[in-house]
Structure 1
Amino acid sequence: MAEFRALDNGFDLMLGQLCLLSHREKSPAFTIAIGDEDVEMVRGNFKIADTLKSVYSPYIVQNCEAQRVTLLNKAGSGEDDGQSIILQLEQQDGYFTLNIKASNPEINRIVMSLNALENEHIYGGGEQMSYLNLRGRNFPIWTSEPGVGRDKSTELTKIMDADGMAGGDYWTSNYPQPTFISDRHYACHIDGTAYAEMDFTSRDSHKITYWNNELNIKLFMGENQLSIVGQLAQYFGRQPALPNWAIGGAIIGLKDGDNSFARLEKFADAGTAISGLWCEDWVGIRQTDFGRRLFWNWSWNEARYPDLPNRIKELAEKNIRFLGYVNPYIAVDAAQFAEAKSGGHLALNLHDDEPYLVDFGQFDCGVVDFTRPETQKWFAEEIIAKQMIDFGLSGWMADFGEYLPIDLRLHDGSDPMEAHNLWPLLWAKVNDMAVKSRGRDDIVFFMRAGASGVQAHCPLLWAGDQCVDFSRHDGIGTVITAALSAGLVGNAYSHHDVGGYTSLHGNIRTADLMKRWAELGAFTPVMRSHEGNRPDDNLQYDSNDDLLSHFAAMSRVHLALAPYVRFMSDQAVKDGLPLQRPLFLHYPDDSEVGDMQDQYLYGTDMLVAPIIEADQFSRKLYLPAGENWVHLWSGKKFTSGWHDVASPYGEPPVFYKENSTFSQLFAGLCSARNSENQGEKYG
């Protein structure tokens, strides 16, 4: 039950027995203001500032009922000076809605303070890369490029900041979401797409800022955090089960034109369990200073892949799928640009009817305007369905979605400041629309950009463009935090570029990094490699026999683990729980695990503690209480507590419960790793 409780000098908002909000005349819980934002964008990197013209704190309680409160700004006579707000509570199916609306239509900033405890843990925020526990930090909600380095103290971040504000920070993310979960057994979600901030820096309050005249909050409560995660998954929309082909073995990412097929044979000869070949360059290549990029015309590039239709058929005979690439922009020098322009499918300049162009770094593109229903249908049918699905693709990277500028004109007349955070959801819907038009439940597209509600349309996340290193805020370890945080707000499946992606200013892959990333990839739902933005400057998994042999071994582990992943995926459809889970979900009373983000539970029966530091051949890890754990590679039994565990290459620290119904399957993973036989394809 949620209700307002009147007091002599204010009121409390009760969520069951929890006092969620306390408003007093001398310490009001709300502030409203008129603000004027200043937004600068350079290639998906944003600098946002705000100037407040007027600030009010409505504090006089004019009336307080169980489900409705009116607050006035002016004391004395009780007359409204035009700066009042109305709070309305409503019970929905499984959650509560708190609506806060300012009476003055010019008000466009609302700030609300919730009660907090000093030792409270806060999680969620969409896909966060740096911190699983959000407590003590402020998180702006604005989808963007995460940045390169994401640590203001590092030289790489400083260099990238000087070049187009591209360094990023701990909070920058392709997929921020205004949803958080408290270990006080409630969740709070902002139902809207305007710019927001979730500030958890205060000891005794959580501050929510929203740039709109109206703030709509969804409140969830449960017996524990596990039940709340399930509720959020139900609210946002549960994803379908992953198809068998995607979870059994590796998807090999190559962008080497027709030579990719000869290289794939080399992977096969090394005993790699191959489920798919992903060639993002199937649309052609554009070389820029950033590296080897793609030609953004969304159809087969016959010059780069001269016999692709037959190649796809040959792969299918080996039970190997072919995957491609697409994004929601069209290059001005692409053949499809003229069609998009003449068809009214592009967003326009503010002051003329010419397409708005975005600089993506040495080439300009038009923005496909998904606020127009005809454009959604055109892109879904004419681009994705006909050019990709009908052509033979079984999946693709649905890239970008974060770049919507705020100084353009959209077909539906909406404010780009409101549409910006909505854009990834519209992009997901278009991809989903195309897949559904062909009735294909075996297709998997994957996205890095996200927004509230993307869960119902995007079958698989990927963690974006990590640096090819072990750095704290932009390296291999961030993909674990990304999966755990996104999983808490309804995204059951996450994966990443095995090997990393971004290589700039002399930062290149090491064999150590490549091996450790392959080990991590084996214990994620989908294992997909990437050649990175500068493949010629970096090691690849087929660069030498040692790397190839290691990758092949880990792919066989991934294939052998597929029945367990199948079980977890089918369960996720029923309960909405993610496959990769923070330990606190199942061990909420264990004081050791609240901030733990460098190891995770894989389902309920397996614990994975990857090596995410350079040149480390052992690591300290924690095994939760109440269980007997078996070391995957040695079969040695461990009790709960902290342990130093050896980890030579090929043996990432992985444990399983002794009494697991999958214990026989887990015990066989060591044999699968050591076998040079690819084994049968899964499904």
Structure 2
Amino acid sequence: MQSRLVSALAAAALASPRVGATATSYGPFTVTVSTNASSLSIVNSAGDQVWKSASDRAFISASPGLTTITQASGNFQLSSNDVGTPCQAAVISSSLSSSDSVEVTGSFADSTCSGWTWTISFALDASYAGSSDDDSQPLVFNASVAGDDVDNVYLAYEVPVWTREGGVGRGEEPVTTYLNANASISGAFAGGSLLTTYTGVASLATSLGRWFVLDGTKYALIDLASNTTSAFEDTAAGYLAGNITEGDRVTGSTTTVEIMYESASVSGWIGRAAKGNPLLEATNSLTKVTGRQPELPDWSHDGAILGIQGGQDFVEGVIQNALAADMPLVSVWLQDWSGTRLQTGAYGISLHRLWWNWEPDSTLYPTWVEWVPHLQSTYGVRTMSYINTFLANVSTKSTGYNTSFYAIAASEGRFVANATAGDGSAWTITSGPGIDAGLLDLSNQSTVDWFKALVKKQYFSVPISGMMQDFGEYLLVDASVSLSSGTVSPRVFHNDYSTVWATLLREVVTELGLENDTIGFHRSAGTFSAKHTNLFWVGDQNIDVSREDGMRAVVSSAIHVGASGFAQTHSDIGGYTNTLATVGNITRNAALLGRWGELGAFSGTAFRTHEGNIPQMNVQAYTNETTRAYHAYNARLFRSLKPYRLALLDEYQANGWPIVRHPIVYSPNDSVARSVIDETFWLGEALYVAPVYDLSASSVEVYLPPLQVDSQGSAVNSSALTYRHLWSGDEYAPGQTVTVDAPWGKPGVFMRWPVTEQ
């Protein structure tokens, strides 16, 4: 939906003072308040609009009621049908200015809320490290509403900021409708929609350089100029699907962006880049507020991380074959280290489910303590494992166990509690027949400390090099659960859970002195999670090439999370989600694995495979000589980009710039570039990539946009530049569509020519 956001904001007019308005300057900002017109505008030192109240609606409104949120197996449904009619006739009664802030107060003229009052203030950020007149510094805003039964502040809405399961399909058909219509398969709303996401980040950055960050973890809804007046709904009965290019905009869409926050008060940061490349500098400013990811260890750039299951002998055999195929292999990732349980799926096919009891399984990995260092000393291959914040009841585990961490946590009251039972017992989830688990209550610092100690002992007493740090989106928000901390409700803590989870694990490796040599990769995240995790993974895609939830979704996801401050990302190469259903089966073939590997080499900051949720139905990197050779080639391709990738990551650490960039970064005024979703992307400023999504194709059609600005925002002479095809050396003028050969191992890749010093 990048093009929708850009075109909406690009059409907005610059602010101009109204008659009778009072203008006050604060650092690089001028705030103009018109009491008579009940309007407000903010411009930066260049005269560019930062904030402007719309002429056809109030700049602040409020309504009673809460969004209805229901959940099944992490699949949250959202509906605002119970939210009352908003009060929108905001009237300014006074405006008070000081040396560094302005406070505007008022009321509502609506008859139903005439007794309500509101306050909104803007001030320079006292914590900002730059000079007071630095154009990149933000304004802090605070807004509050006082009155009876006020639960929502509308600053207004249509993309929900809510961490939840992403869904299987996310609008791709027929699988989305099939799962959303059959709650008995994987829970209600298991198919999801175009809006469901593991990562709820309340920020935005635009191609005009505007940026915004919401300071809070409560439910929010961001309306990207949809002009929708009906109640918001994202449920199994009514969800956004179809052509992603159309989004949810309706006829007559405006240029106004509105934010709703579910509270009687809200605060955040706003700003606009006055210098440099607008979108890159907006991300720079945004990440100064939200934080940037810690650096990855150097070894992670040197080759493949193979996701394998099956036990010590099988894993070691895969390692030997991979090395014999000249595959640069830096690590194996073993999610089954704690054991698996077979469950019967569709067509009688066995599904492997993990035992969430964090100790090595005695059958699969009987000599784990000695074997992990053996792999590194013998083959130079590291080991990564798996963790989440569930603990499973292992009383029925057939291979036995040494310690039941579930029993310990339950006896000590460390789980999210079953409030309905009222006896302090754990709220449990079921991971298929025979596996029940409790969710750790991370709102309680005592439980956080207890789990940190467990992780240090159970994981890092052996020299592992990191792990998948899974989940973070399951916490229920209704009256059936309760938290033991007593300081926060489940509804308020829900969006913060993933950040606390990431913080916990980052503190573990930091306290052990391992922060520069390990990887922790998360999938769920919040607005301020980036600084606590050095790798993000944009999972879990379907094992296909679909735009909504397959291989193509990797590109759009990387672009969006990059603009949200998560530059260090990767995907499950080959995808994760198999579906065996009457509407069609989704399984992996060698072509998909190979083309996805090509994409991973150019788009990821790590190169990791996943066997999928039904491994025996999928072609694997280790299946045969052909797949090993193709994956070895792609891993070498990833390794060959290390020097360039490290230079881009240095830029990220210094400036917050994403490494996977939308074409509008360098072609902001080109209408075709602005319509791109996943067809192409820039890796930094030098490489332009067109993945091959047609698995039967040996060529790819690529639009080469005119180059208008560089990374510093300076205008460039597009006629003096060409796109040099990486594989053939042929050069093409910008502003045209070309078709180039793209045999196996050679996706559409072009160099910006001549290259810059970068």
Cα distance, 1:660 vs. partner? 3.2
How far off is 1:80 after superposition? Answer: 9.1
Identify the match of residue 96 of structure 1 among 132, 136, 139. Answer: 139
What is the distance in 1 between the residues matched to 2:52 and 2:317? 63
Task: Select 1:250's aligned residue among 304, 325, 339.
Answer: 304
Provide the residue aligned with 2:168 in structure 1. 148
SS of structure 2 residue aligned to 1:261: helix
CA deviation digits over 1:92-124, x for unaligned, max 9?
1221122110112631111125xxxxxxxxxxx
2:731 to 618, 632, 637: 637
Q: Letter of the aligned partner of 1:229 in structure 2?
A: T
The DSSP-based 3-state class of the residue aligned with 1:345 is coil
Instruction: Say what the alpha-carbon RMSD is for the aligned residues.
Output: 2.2
Q: What is the deviation of 1:231?
A: 1.2
The offset of 1:74, in angstroms, is 4.1
Structure 1 contact 284–301 (Cα < 8 Å) conserved: yes
Deviations 1:51-99 (A, max 9, x none): 13464235222113451211212489xx994311111111112211221
In 2, distance between residues paired with 1:526 and 1:53?
47
Percent identity over the alignment?
28
TM-score by length of 2: 0.80
SS in 2 for 1:486: helix
- Contact 2:35 2:93 (8 Å CA) reproduced: no
1:352 is aligned to 2:423: yes
Q: Given that residues 4 and 65 in structure 1 are in contact (C-alpha distance below 8 angstroms), is that contact kept between their aligned partners in structure 2? A: no
Pair 15,416 (structure 1): closer, same or farther in 2 beyond 3 Å: farther
For 1:220, the equivalent position in structure 2 comes to: 271
**2-structure distance, mates of 1:566, 1:105:** 55
Q: Which amino acid aligns with 1:410?
A: L
Contact map agreement 1:499 1:518 (CA 8 A) in 2? yes
Q: Which residue of 2 is the match for residue 117 of structure 1?
A: none
1:206 aligned partner: 257
- Of 55, 68, 73, 2:108 maps to 73
Tell me the alpha carbon deviations over residues 195-224 of structure 1, each in whole angstroms, 9 at most, x when there is no partner: 111112132222211111112131021031
Write the distance in 1 (CA, Å) between the matches of 2:416 and 2:692.
45
Q: Secondary structure at the match of 2:432?
A: coil
1:474 aligns to what SS in structure 2? coil
Residue 470 of structure 1 aligns with which residue?
545
1:364 aligns with 2:414: no
SS at 1:570's partner residue?
A: helix
1:153, distance to aligned residue in structure 2 (A)? 4.5
Distance 2:219 2:423 in 1: 27
2:441 maps to 1:381: no
Look up the match of 1:427: 501
8 Å Cα contact 2:176/2:193 also seen in 1: no
Answer yes or no: is the 8 Å Cα contact 2:144–2:264 preserved in 1.
Answer: yes
> Are 1:6 and 1:65, in contact at CA under 8 Å, matched by a contact in 2?
no
CA contact (8 A) 1:241 1:572 kept: no
Q: The residue matched to 2:508 in structure 1 has which SS?
A: helix
The one-character-per-residue Cα deviations of 1:580-628 (angstroms, maximum 9, x if unpaired) are 1222223334443223232211122112211123322222223343332
> How many aligned residue pairs are there?
636
Provide runs of 4+ in structure 1 moved above 6 Å: none
CA shift for structure 1 position 7: 4.7
Say yes or no: does 1:493 pair with 2:548: no
Aligned to 1:679: none
Are 1:105 and 1:213, in contact at CA under 8 Å, matched by a contact in 2?
no
| Residue matched to 1:320 | 381
Picking from 337, 362, 366, the partner of 1:302 is 362
CA contact under 8 A between 2:541 and 2:575: conserved in structure 1?
A: yes
SS at match of 1:56: coil
Aligned partners of 1:176 and 1:455: how far apart in 2?
A: 12
Query: Using the alignment, how far apart are the partners of 2:667 and 2:569 within structure 1?
Result: 22
2:743 to 628, 648, 671: 648
Contact 1:600/1:607 (<8 A) preserved: yes
Q: C-alpha offsets along residues 335-362 of structure 1, whole Å, 9 cap, x if unaligned?
A: 1011212333212122331111123333
Residue 264 in structure 1 maps to residue 314 in structure 2: no
- Match status 1:559 vs 2:610: no
Measured after TM superposition, the shift of residue 154 of structure 1 is 2.2
The residue correspondences of 1:71-220 to structure 2 (distance < 5 A) are 71-74=106-109, 81-92=114-125, 93=128, 94-104=137-147, 106-112=149-155, 138-151=158-171, 153-163=173-183, 164=187, 165-200=189-224, 201-202=226-227, 203-204=253-254, 205-220=256-271
Looking at structure 1, the residues matched to 683 and 109 of structure 2 have their Cα atoms a distance apart, in angstroms, of 55
The answer to whether 1:29 aligns with 2:59 is yes
Q: Secondary structure at the match of 2:68?
A: strand
Question: Which of the numbers 482, 485, 494 marks the counterpart of 1:409?
Answer: 482
Q: 1:105 to 1:249 in 2, by over 3 A?
A: farther
Q: Is the 8 A contact 2:35 2:94 kept in 1?
A: no
For the residues of structure 1 that align with 2:611 and 2:520, how far apart are their CA atoms?
19
Q: Alpha-carbon deviation of 1:527?
A: 0.5
1:519 aligns with 2:570: no
Counterpart in 1 of 2:655? Answer: 575
For 1:19 and 1:484, locate their aligned partners in 2 and report how far apart those are by CA, in whole Å.
23
Quote the Cα distance in structure 2 between the aligned partners of 1:428 and 1:603. Answer: 27
Whole-angstrom CA distance in 1 between matches of 2:503 and 2:476 = 20
* TM superposition score normalised by structure 1: 0.89
Q: Which amino acid aligns with 1:321?
A: R
Against the structure 1 CA distance between its residues 100 and 70, is the aligned structure 2 distance closer, same or farther, given a 3 Å change threshold?
A: same
C-alpha change, 1:217 and 1:358, in structure 2 (3 Å) is same
Give distance in 2, aligned partners of 1:537 and 1:497: 16
Gaps of 5+ in 1: 114-136, 664-683
User: What is the rounded CA distance, in whole Å, between the counterparts of 2:110 and 2:66 in structure 1?
Assistant: 27
Match of 1:681 in 2: none
Task: Give the 3 Å change call, closer, same or farther, for CA 23–640 of structure 1 in structure 2.
Answer: closer
- Rounded to whole Å, the distance in 2 between the matches of 1:430 and 1:612 is 38
Contact 1:323-1:396 within 8 A present in 2 as well: yes
Report Cα offsets for 1:121-176 as digits up to 9, x if no partner: xxxxxxxxxxxxxxxx9311111111111116424542354232200100100002
Shift of 1:476: 0.2
The letter for the 1-side match of 2:34 is A
Aligned residues of 2:65 and 2:149 also touching (Cα < 8 A): no
The alpha-carbon distance between structure 1 residues 152 and 503, as it changes in their structure 2 partners (threshold 3 A), is: closer
Equivalent AA in structure 1 for residue 619 of structure 2? L
- The answer to whether the 8 A contact 2:66-2:152 is kept is no
Structure 1 residues 168, 249: CA separation in 2 closer, same or farther (over 3 Å shift)? same
Deviation at 1:316, TM superposition (A): 1.4
State the partner residue of 1:120.
none
